[in-house]
Amino acid sequence: MDLSRYPLDVLAGRVGTPFYFYDGAILDQKFGELAALTDGPGLQCRFAVKANPACKVLETAHKHGMWIDAVSGNEVLRAKRAGFAMGNEPPTVMYTADVFRDNALQVVVENGVLPNIGSPGMIRELAEAGYRGPVALRINPGFGHGHVQACDTGGPSSKHGIWYEDHLEAKQLADDAGFPVVALHAHVGTGPQIREFDENMKQLVALFAHLLPHYPDVRNVNLGGGIPHPYKPDAQAYPLDEYREILQGGVRQLTAAAERPVGIEIEPGRYPVAGMALLVARVKDVKTTRTNEKGPGHQFIMVDAGFNDLVRPAMYGSYHKISVVGQGAGRAPEPFVVAGPLCESGDVFTRDDQELLQPRPLPRPEPGDLVVLHDAGAYGAAMSSNYVSLGRAAQVFWEDGKATLIARRETLEDIVRRECEEAL
């Protein structure tokens, strides 16, 4: 994002730091790209709400004809509030999970959205809750992993889905309960290499082509999310045109295998939202440690955002481009570690996937300058917490040259509101 286009300093003065900044034009463009990608017979795109559930994001997804992949009862209800249709004709909202938790079972039954079965026991629970309707089966295809090894989305060590060799047992349970299986699903994610994604998708199509003859009611096969986003400056943008060919070829292959029309759904989360957002933090200090027998010294830029605001670097060693805005911006780069306010040594934004410090060439900022973390729209605010009772950051939406506060900073009152003393 070109930072010179936004009055970040003025906004920081109004809403305080840290805050999330979302550019509505980029969001609109990205959902437009997904709509074009799946504009054609037999193709449908869902948005994986987990990446960013902000109402503005859901409304933009809706405007572009996206359907929804929700992973909690409350995500289903947030989609409903944003205008998505409930029911399963068509199954605009699908509920994907490996267990029902909280209100999920009730929300699925009451709203008739399509449950995507990640563990066979969910079929029993649905039957006991009086559900009558179709289901999808989430398959663990035996291969695949996400953008980092920690995201284990397929294979013997993955908790997700029904093991591919056991799918017929799950189907039998669904048959016994009277639930037609109308969709087959898998999500194996991005893979660490950009081309691995293409191979994963082709391999999934081949697996589903093999399974389909057992499923006379299946109308759609869902290949999950995982379209890569180029976080690193030298990373290539993923060529959506090539994915379009894989999807169109997949529809032909699946239709031939089933000997009737079978469509393909995809459900990216990261792709439409990652690049539309910044996390804007204030520089509080610049300090150094010195080399000794334990290791080399470092220069630290201390900012007021921490892993409570953006957990990906601490959790996965994920890379986010960092810029300095303010007095120091034009200075020659020096190696800096960027660290947050939490009393946790892992509260560092410049780490590699081995959890080691990875100093970044950055201009030396002055206290009071802004440090901006780019590409923070996916699993950013969505995974933030109020750890150490810091309120979750404000969210600002930028559209047509105007800024709107779409989520205010969480206050102490918000945090303590649910505390109680009730006899049980």
Ligand X SMILES: Cc1ncc(COP(=O)(O)O)c(C=O)c1O
Q: Closer CB to ligand X, residue 211 or residue 403?
A: 211
How far is CA 322 from each of CA 90, 151, 174, 267, 371, rounded to the nearest angstrom? 42, 24, 49, 28, 7
Residue number of the CB closest to ligand X reads 225
Annotation marks residue 151 as catalytic? no
CA distance 141 to 156: 9
- Beta bridge partners, 291, equal none
Q: Closer CB to ligand X, residue 3 or residue 315?
A: 315
Residue 424, amino acid = L
CB of 220 to ligand X, least distance (A): 14
Radius of gyration of the chain (CA): 23
CB of 56 to ligand X, least distance (A): 18
Which residues does 39 contact at the CB level (< 8 Å), separation at least 6?
none
**Count of CB atoms within 10 A of residue 274's CB?**
26
Q: Closer CB to ligand X, residue 146 or residue 340?
A: 146
Instruction: Tell me the window of 231-239, 262-270, 290-298, 348-356 that interacts with ligand X (CB under 6 A).
Output: 262-270
Asked if 62 is part of the footprint of ligand X (rule: CB under 6 A), the reply reads no
Q: Closer CB to ligand X, residue 150 or residue 388?
A: 150
CB of 114 to ligand X, least distance (A): 13
343: three-class secondary structure by DSSP: coil
Asked if 69 is part of the footprint of ligand X (rule: CB under 6 A), the reply reads yes
- How many chain residues bind ligand X (CB under 6 A)? 17
156 cis-preceded (ω within 30 degrees of 0): no
Which residues does 2 contact at the CB level (< 8 Å), separation at least 6?
none
How far is CA 44 from each of CA 35, 232, 304, 366, rounded to the nearest angstrom? 8, 29, 41, 49
Asked if 269 is part of the footprint of ligand X (rule: CB under 6 A), the reply reads yes
Do 120 and 177 touch, CB atoms closer than 8 A? no
CB of 227 to ligand X, least distance (A): 6
Q: Which of residues 72-111 bind ligand X (CB under 6 A)?
A: 96
Chain-centre distance of CA 359, in angstroms? 27
**Count of CB atoms within 10 A of residue 240's CB?**
14
Which residues does 192 contact at the CB level (< 8 Å), separation at least 6?
145, 147, 148, 149
Asked if 187 is part of the footprint of ligand X (rule: CB under 6 A), the reply reads yes
Q: Say which of 45, 151, 343, 420 is annotated catalytic.
A: 343
Among 190, 253, 308, 384, binds ligand X (CB under 6 A): 190
Q: Closer CB to ligand X, residue 51 or residue 221?
A: 51
Asked if 48 is part of the footprint of ligand X (rule: CB under 6 A), the reply reads yes
316: three-class secondary structure by DSSP: helix
- What does the per-residue mask of binding to ligand X show for 208-227, with x meaning CB under 6 A? ----------------xxxx
Q: Closer CB to ligand X, residue 159 or residue 260?
A: 159
Asked if 141 is part of the footprint of ligand X (rule: CB under 6 A), the reply reads no
CB of 378 to ligand X, least distance (A): 6
Q: What residues are labeled active site?
A: 343
Interface residue list for ligand X (CB under 6 A): 48, 51, 69, 96, 187, 189-190, 224-227, 267-271, 378
